[in-house]
């Protein structure tokens, strides 16, 4: 049983990392958002498995949130925004996909190298989860830096948050705070992103961050 | 328990009441009253301290910050009441937005107070996030091109910071699990501190790096500071005052809690060098950046980065004297900088712009306003007889005694900043009159309520206060 629970948890966490890599080279927003949905779906599976293994019913709530909000609602809403803004056909210039992929691999190696030696006291399931979760977080962070479009930055941020959720679910017995924080961040991300994207459209007719960057505060 | 309920309950009640109150005059007054209630409750905490439980904690360290934060919240609500009337007249805000603004102000106060009194590192994280998001909304409230960009930048950088901080928090919990067991105990700060000796030091080290980067983004440390000047410059001025005066402090407070934890774990890295490096970098960077500022709120925002650098540096040096200086500097900076923003808010209303080039001769046309700005700036650059001089002197002298080379860098940063600020402010306050001269109903009570204690602290620090700070400084390790 222990062997199986470990293998499944490890596979799901590994899949999450793999989907993070898939996100790196999506240069069309609708495709990127589909992959984001897939990312959240795999997170939900991983969390369900953790809930089962740890016998922690509260984690099922977390998984439900991941499935309902992150896998279904948010990608759908973002898709609609993208269509409304008329940028669904645009191809985003994703700079240096190959290099970014290589850097991503480096980040995965770094997180394994960093986390595995220091978590020797922890349960093996937790160990692998945390290490892989860290790589999802770091890849998300890197995508936020390399992407120029507001919607894809938000997608990158959400993938990063998925990584954190995986870590939180993997930490055995972490108290109620997980649920609060997840519900909270989902709600808020939804709210703020919606408002912001809408306003950005209203004001500038573009969601390209470059266009916003022309203003740097003091060049008026 | 009642005072604590007041500190948290008054803002919470305020959110509901202010969201429902039409009419900005009434809600501005209610805002002041509720903030006063929270401040009074905080003062009572000094006398009657509730028992620690797994969620809430009042100890010697945070009681100072609770009193400070509710005090600045109270004075800012007074300033805000006089400030927003003018914004309505000029049409920058509409009554509907003001209702939202007042409710958000109380959300932010609730978030900050909760972050300060929480004994649970997860709860603390949620509270900091709540405070951050409410300020994001307020930074964007003018809905101009610049305000939206500022709010977006703040939101993105703030989210990344807060995400990294959560990851660090999870790692701390993981370090605690083998020793204290899972569940609530693994997140209660007092429990963690009692058992910190048994934690895996390496895991705690990594956790601290994440926490330093995460909460450090909120503190505004270089190189994660990019959101700070924009957010200060483009939001309403009362929000600039609380951002500099309170939110930066709250994030730093969170960091200090973890620093104490790390200090209690033998075999962990010393957090000092990391903090010293980030602090010095912020100080030197911000002081050089001060010269090229053309926007007056942006100028003082960079000065906040500079001061946060000094404070983090002081805590990084550590030891009783370094921590004492850091604590004093935190309090002094908080009071002085919000007083400056109060003056600057009115100055910008007088001139109808934030551009320094279009301001001049303020002491001639508006003597009281002009001189309070000058007094604030004299205080913030660390000239006697104000309290910042005392704390900066302590930072410098304690550093000279231990690391003369670092002290040289520190002094260079301080002098560069002093030159830049005095240069800029002299062109605003003195010389020929430039720019329009409008009448503004300025409120001086908040400004003097802040500068008064700073002046007193510069001349004489009361014995009990010194003893208190010394005690806390020892706690900080």
CB contacts of A189 in chain B (<8 Å) are 159
- What is the model's pLDDT at position B313? 95
Residue B282 domain flag:
yes
pLDDT band at A186 (very low <50, low <70, confident <90, very high): low
Contact A116/B at CB under 8 A: no
pLDDT of A184 higher than 70: no
- What is the model's pLDDT at position B282? 95
pLDDT of A199 higher than 60: no
Contact B297/A at CB under 8 A: no
Burial of residue A55 (CB within 10 Å: 0-12, 13-18, 19+) is: exposed
pLDDT band at A183 (very low <50, low <70, confident <90, very high): low
pLDDT band at A204 (very low <50, low <70, confident <90, very high): very low
Say if the Cβ atoms of B187 and A173 lie within 8 Å: no
pLDDT of A197 higher than 70: no
Residue B451 domain flag:
yes
- What is the model's pLDDT at position A93? 64
Least confident of A140-149, A199-208, B143-152, B294-303: A199-208
- What is the model's pLDDT at position A117? 83
Say if the Cβ atoms of B206 and A118 lie within 8 Å: yes
Taking the C-alpha atoms of residue B351 and residue B448, their distance in angstroms, rounded to an integer, is 22
Residue B161 domain flag:
no
pLDDT tens-place string over residues A66-108: 888 888 888 888 888 778 777 777 766 666 778 888 999 999 9
pLDDT tens-place string over residues B354-392: 888 888 888 888 889 999 999 999 999 998 889 999 999
pLDDT tens-place string over residues B103-134: 999 999 999 999 999 998 988 988 998 898 88
Say if the Cβ atoms of A192 and B133 lie within 8 Å: yes
Q: Compute the average pLDDT of residues A163-190.
A: 69
pLDDT band at A216 (very low <50, low <70, confident <90, very high): very low
Closest-CA distance, A119 to chain B, in angstroms, reads 7
Taking the C-alpha atoms of residue B4 and residue B58, their distance in angstroms, rounded to an integer, is 9
Q: Residues of B numbered 158-187 whose beta carbons fall under 8 angstroms of chain A's beta carbons: which are they?
A: 159-160, 163-164, 166-167, 170-171, 173-174, 177-178, 181-184, 186-187
- What is the model's pLDDT at position A206? 52
- What is the model's pLDDT at position A41? 94
- What is the model's pLDDT at position A208? 57
Pairwise pLDDT comparison (A150 vs A190), residue with the higher score: A150
| ipTM, two decimals | 0.85
CB contacts of A167 in chain B (<8 Å) are 167, 170
Contact B111/A at CB under 8 A: no
> Which residue of chain A has the CA closest to B159?
A157
Do residues B203 and B176 touch, judged by C-beta distance below 8 A? no
Q: Which candidate, A190, A186, A161, places its Cα nearest to that of A61?
A: A186
The three-class DSSP label of residue B360 is strand
Burial of residue B88 (CB within 10 Å: 0-12, 13-18, 19+) is: middle
Say if the Cβ atoms of A218 and B143 lie within 8 Å: no
Do residues B353 and B435 touch, judged by C-beta distance below 8 A? yes
Pairwise pLDDT comparison (A124 vs B316), residue with the higher score: B316
> The tokens 């269509």 sit on which residue?
A83
Indicate the number of domains in chain B.
Answer: 1
Q: Which candidate, B330, B307, B174, B332, places its Cα nearest to that of B256?
A: B330
pLDDT of A56 higher than 50: yes
Which structural domain, as residue segments, surrounds residue B350? 270-477
Q: Which candidate, B153, B90, B83, B143, places its Cα nearest to that of B338?
A: B83
Q: Compute the average pLDDT of residues A9-21.
A: 92
Residues of chain B with pLDDT under 70: none
The three-class DSSP label of residue B453 is helix
pLDDT band at A55 (very low <50, low <70, confident <90, very high): confident
Question: Rg of chain B's alpha carbons, rounded to an integer?
Answer: 21
Contact A118/B at CB under 8 A: yes
Do residues B316 and B406 touch, judged by C-beta distance below 8 A? no
pLDDT of A212 higher than 60: no
- What is the model's pLDDT at position B256? 92
Averaged confidence pLDDT in chain A:
78
Say if the Cβ atoms of A181 and B126 lie within 8 Å: yes
Least confident of A46-50, A200-204, B112-116: A200-204
pLDDT of A9 higher than 90: no
For chain A, give every domain's residue range: 2-213
Percent of chain A at pLDDT exceeding 90 = 20
> Which residue of chain A has the CA closest to B232?
A217
Residue B276 domain flag:
yes
> Which residue of chain B has the CA closest to A210?
B149
Residue B288 domain flag:
yes
Say if the Cβ atoms of B122 and A181 lie within 8 Å: yes
Say if the Cβ atoms of A218 and B293 lie within 8 Å: yes
pLDDT tens-place string over residues B34-56: 999 999 999 998 888 888 888 88
DSSP sequence for B266-324: TTSPPHHHHHHHHHHHHHHHHHHHGGG--BHHHHHHHHHHHHHHHHHHHHHH-HHHHHH
Q: Compute the average pLDDT of residues A172-180.
A: 65
Percent of chain A at pLDDT exceeding 70 = 76
- Residue B185 gets which letter from DSSP? G
- What is the model's pLDDT at position B472? 87
């Amino acid at each position: 049983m222990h062997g199986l629970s470990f293998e499944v948890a490890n596979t799901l966490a590994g899949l999450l990392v793999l989907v993070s890599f898939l996100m790196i080279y999506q240069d069309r927003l609708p495709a990127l958002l589909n992959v984001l949905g897939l990312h959240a779906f795999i997170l939900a599976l991983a969390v369900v498995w953790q809930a089962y293994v740890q016998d922690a019913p509260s984690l099922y709530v977390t998984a439900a949130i991941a499935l309902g909000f992150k896998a279904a609602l948010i990608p759908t809403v973002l898709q609609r925004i993208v269509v409304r803004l008329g940028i669904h056909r645009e191809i985003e210039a994703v700079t240096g996909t190959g290099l970014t992929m290589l850097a991503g691999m480096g980040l995965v190696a770094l997180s394994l190298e960093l986390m595995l030696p220091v978590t020797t006291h922890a349960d093996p399931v937790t160990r692998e989860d945390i290490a892989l979760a860290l790589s999802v977080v770091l890849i998300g962070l890197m995508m936020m830096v390399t992407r120029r479009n507001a919607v894809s930055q938000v997608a990158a941020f959400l993938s990063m948050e998925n990584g954190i959720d995986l870590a939180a679910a993997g930490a055995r017995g972490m108290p109620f705070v997980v649920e609060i924080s997840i519900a909270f961040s989902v709600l808020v991300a939804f709210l703020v992103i919606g408002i912001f994207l809408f306003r950005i459209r209203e004001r500038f007719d573009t969601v390209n961050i470059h266009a916003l960057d022309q203003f740097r505060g003091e060049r008026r | 328990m009642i005072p604590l309920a007041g500190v948290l309950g008054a803002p919470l009640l305020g959110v509901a009441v202010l969201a429902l109150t039409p009419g900005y005059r009434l809600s501005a007054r209610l805002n002041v009253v509720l903030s006063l209630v929270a401040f009074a409750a905080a003062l009572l905490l000094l006398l009657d301290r509730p028992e620690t439980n797994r969620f809430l904690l009042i100890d010697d360290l945070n009681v100072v910050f609770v009193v400070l934060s509710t005090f600045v919240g109270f004075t800012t609500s007074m300033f805000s009441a006089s400030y927003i009337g003018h914004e309505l007249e000029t049409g920058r805000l509409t009554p509907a937005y003001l209702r939202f603004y007042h409710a958000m102000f109380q959300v932010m106060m609730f978030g900050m107070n909760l972050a300060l009194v929480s004994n649970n590192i997860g709860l603390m994280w949620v509270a900091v996030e709540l405070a951050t998001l409410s300020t994001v909304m307020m930074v964007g409230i003018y809905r101009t091109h610049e305000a939206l960009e500022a709010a977006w930048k703040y939101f993105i950088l703030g989210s990344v910071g807060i995400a990294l901080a959560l990851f660090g928090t999870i790692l701390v919990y993981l370090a605690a699990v083998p020793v204290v067991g899972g569940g609530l105990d693994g997140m209660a700060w007092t429990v963690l501190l009692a058992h910190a000796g048994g934690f895996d030091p390496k895991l705690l080290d990594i956790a601290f790096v994440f926490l330093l980067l995460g909460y450090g983004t909120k503190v505004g440390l270089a190189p994660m500071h990019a959101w700070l000047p924009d957010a200060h410059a483009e939001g309403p001025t009362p929000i600039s005052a609380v951002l500099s005066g309170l939110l930066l402090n709250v994030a730093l407070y969170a960091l200090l809690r973890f620093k104490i934890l790390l200090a209690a774990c033998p075999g962990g890295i010393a957090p000092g060098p990391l903090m010293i490096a980030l602090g010095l970098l912020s100080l030197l960077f911000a002081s050089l950046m001060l010269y090229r500022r053309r926007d007056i709120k942006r100028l003082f925002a960079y000065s906040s980065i500079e001061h946060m650098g000094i404070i983090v540096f002081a805590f990084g040096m550590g030891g009783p004297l370094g921590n004492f200086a850091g604590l004093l500097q935190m309090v002094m900076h908080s009071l002085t900088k919000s007083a400056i923003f109060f003056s600057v808010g009115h100055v910008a209303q007088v001139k109808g712009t934030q551009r320094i080039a279009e301001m001049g001769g303020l002491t001639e046309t508006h003597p009281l306003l002009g001189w309070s700005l000058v007094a604030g700036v004299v205080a913030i650059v660390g000239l006697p007889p104000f309290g910042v001089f005392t704390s900066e002197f302590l930072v410098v002298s304690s550093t000279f005694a231990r690391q003369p080379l670092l002290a040289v860098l520190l002094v260079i940063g301080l002098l560069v900043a002093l030159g830049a600020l005095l240069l800029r402010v002299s062109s605003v306050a003195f010389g020929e009159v430039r720019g329009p001269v409008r009448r503004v109903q300025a409120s001086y009570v908040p400004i003097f309520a802040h500068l008064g204690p700073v002046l007193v602290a510069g001349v004489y620090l009361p014995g009990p206060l010194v003893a208190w700070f010394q005690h806390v400084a020892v706690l900080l390790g």
